[in-house]
Amino acid sequence: MTNKGHDLSKSIEKQNITSPEEIDIDVLRKTQFNWKRKSLLTTQDLLIEEIDLIVNTARAFSEILTRQIKKVPTMRGKVIINLFYENSTRTRSSFELAGRYLSADVTNFAVSTSSIKKGETLQDTAQTLIQMGADAVVIRHPHSGVPFQLAKFLPNNISLINAGDGSNEHPTQALLDLYTILEVFSIQDLIVSNFLANKKIAIVGDILHSRVARSNIWLLKKLGMDIHLCGPPTLLPTVMKEFGVKTHWGLKDALSDADLIMVLRLQTERQTSGLIPSLDEYHRLYGLSHERIKLAKPNVLVLHPGPMNRGVEITSELADDPKYSLINKQVANGVAIRMALLYLLVFASEKK
Ligand code: CP
């Protein structure tokens, strides 16, 4: 599977595509890679070979994003439906752009104005998606587990992608985070490289409510990373040790010798009340700044999934400092990762 993944990347790269008509899905289909997955709901069950193939495919598709005309006919005739029950800037627009760059027909169900507001059930919504001929459905929902529920109502030939469910998972975010990390360290092959094994990442902030943290924990653990969680006791329950990670209520040990720091947004909308005394105190104890990152390795790199609370979990100066901050790269890489996922998942069953 590994070599086949690279064959796919090479086959796309070798085409030196300059206009929309110069990419041929049949050429891609001829590559004999053994991708079977139709849906992505979690990072927990991803195989290393699948992760490697997603990253390699994203790397190949990222070339399209550098062109003047960012469009290839790869998914012409395919229908992608974005079903966002919760606000999103980055995820929804990157799925939309990814689909459009691949020439799919993309439609957004505006939940605030749709029949879902009138009490339509998830099962009826699934029927609507089926009748509309969806090839892929991208769902975000404020409640954990809803994508898994929707999956029960959809036939296997419709790809379902979890774009974030409550505090549970955000697998495409974790994959774009990994893609960004591999890019900055110039890691080409996850299978042969053990570069990430024992690299230390500190994930700092509102761990309790973070689907990004959970998806990254499952993903990065598979690659052997040394994962340290840090946050106030109210946002970092000790039970999280059971995830096979180290936990800290203070920044010093968490950041010490860290190669990477992932800062998480303080999710005030998911907090009941009284979990932190004040935003000022949170910033004083856990806010990332140029001064604070001196606790980590000198060349430490900082990720944040966005949206940011500037001046709360991270200073603007650090967030905007290209020497340390990978935040803009994360956003840009989100499109390539989602192009790769749409392509791999939708065409999975059509491969020989
Ligand atoms: N990182 C992320 O999921 O951002 P959005 O909520 O803007 O999609």
Atom of ligand 1 nearest to the CA of 89: 7
Residue 226 token pair: 């040394």
- Decide: helix, strand or coil at residue 315: coil
Q: How far is the CA of 213 from the centre of ligand 1 (A)?
A: 13
Atom of ligand 1 nearest to the CA of 86: 6
Q: How far is the CA of 101 from the centre of ligand 1 (A)?
A: 20
- Decide: helix, strand or coil at residue 261: strand
- Of 86, 89, 141, 337, the one to substitute when testing ligand 1's pocket (max ligand atoms within 8 A of C-beta) is 89
The residues near 245 (Cβ < 8 Å, ≥ 6 apart) are 217, 221, 227, 228, 229
- Taking a C-beta distance cutoff of 8 angstroms, is the pair 320, 289 a contact? no
Q: How far is the CA of 33 from the centre of ligand 1 (A)?
A: 31
Tell me the percentage of the chain whose pLDDT exceeds 90: 71
DSSP tag of 30 = H
Q: What is the pLDDT of residue 111?
A: 77
Atom of ligand 1 nearest to the CA of 334: 1
Name the one residue in this structure whose structure tokens are 């627009």: 93
Ramachandran bin of 103, using left for φ above 0, alpha for ψ from -120 to 50, beta for the remaining angles: left
- At what angle are helices 48-61 and 211-222 packed, to 10 degrees? 110
| CA-based nearest residue to 66, from 274, 335, 249 | 335
Atom of ligand 1 nearest to the CA of 92: 8
Q: How far is the CA of 307 from the centre of ligand 1 (A)?
A: 6
| Pick from 104-113, 127-136, 265-274: least confident | 265-274
* Per-residue CA distances from 264 to 202, 243, 275, 337 (Å): 11, 18, 15, 20
Q: What is the pLDDT of residue 18?
A: 39
Name the one residue in this structure whose structure tokens are 């796919």: 8
267 band by pLDDT with thresholds 50, 70 and 90: confident
Atom of ligand 1 nearest to the CA of 164: 3
The residues spanned by each domain of the chain are 2-166+332-350, 171-331
Q: How far is the CA of 154 from the centre of ligand 1 (A)?
A: 25
| CA-based nearest residue to 232, from 291, 294, 307, 285 | 285
Q: What is the pLDDT of residue 171?
A: 98
Q: How far is the CA of 93 from the centre of ligand 1 (A)?
A: 9
- Look at ligand 1, atom 6, and give the residue with the nearest C-alpha: 88
Atom of ligand 1 nearest to the CA of 163: 3
Q: Check for a shared fold between 2-166+332-350 and 171-331.
A: yes
Rounded Cα–Cα distance for residues 334 and 90 (Å): 8
- Look at ligand 1, atom 3, and give the residue with the nearest C-alpha: 91
- Of 85, 90, 92, the one to substitute when testing ligand 1's pocket (max ligand atoms within 8 A of C-beta) is 90
Q: How far is the CA of 114 from the centre of ligand 1 (A)?
A: 22
- Decide: helix, strand or coil at residue 162: strand
Q: How far is the CA of 256 from the centre of ligand 1 (A)?
A: 28
Burial class (CB within 10 angstroms; exposed 0-12, middle 13-18, buried 19+) of 352? exposed
- Look at ligand 1, atom 4, and give the residue with the nearest C-alpha: 90
Q: Which residues line ligand 1 (CB under 6 A)?
A: 88-91, 164, 170, 173, 305-307
Atom of ligand 1 nearest to the CA of 306: 1
Q: How far is the CA of 90 from the centre of ligand 1 (A)?
A: 5
Residue 352 token pair: 């020989």
The string of DSSP letters for 62-131 reads TTGGGSSS---GGGTT-EEEEEESS--SHHHHHHHHHHHHTT-EEEEEEGGGSGGGGT--HHHHHHHHHH
Pick one of 3.40.50.1370, 3.10.129.10, 3.40.50.12500, 3.40.50.300 as the CATH number of 171-331. Answer: 3.40.50.1370
Residues 135-174: tens digit of each pLDDT: 999 999 999 999 999 999 999 999 999 999 999 999 999 9
Residues 162-215: tens digit of each pLDDT: 999 999 999 999 999 999 999 999 988 887 788 899 899 999 999 999 999 999
DSSP tag of 325 = B
| Pick from 7-11, 185-189, 282-286, 330-334: least confident | 7-11
Strand order in the sheet with 200-204: 246-248, 226-230, 200-204, 260-263, 301-303
Pick one of 3.40.50.1370, 3.40.50.10140, 1.10.390.10, 3.30.43.10 as the CATH number of 2-166+332-350. Answer: 3.40.50.1370
352 band by pLDDT with thresholds 50, 70 and 90: very low
Strand-pairing partners, residue 160, are 137
Q: How far is the CA of 164 from the centre of ligand 1 (A)?
A: 8
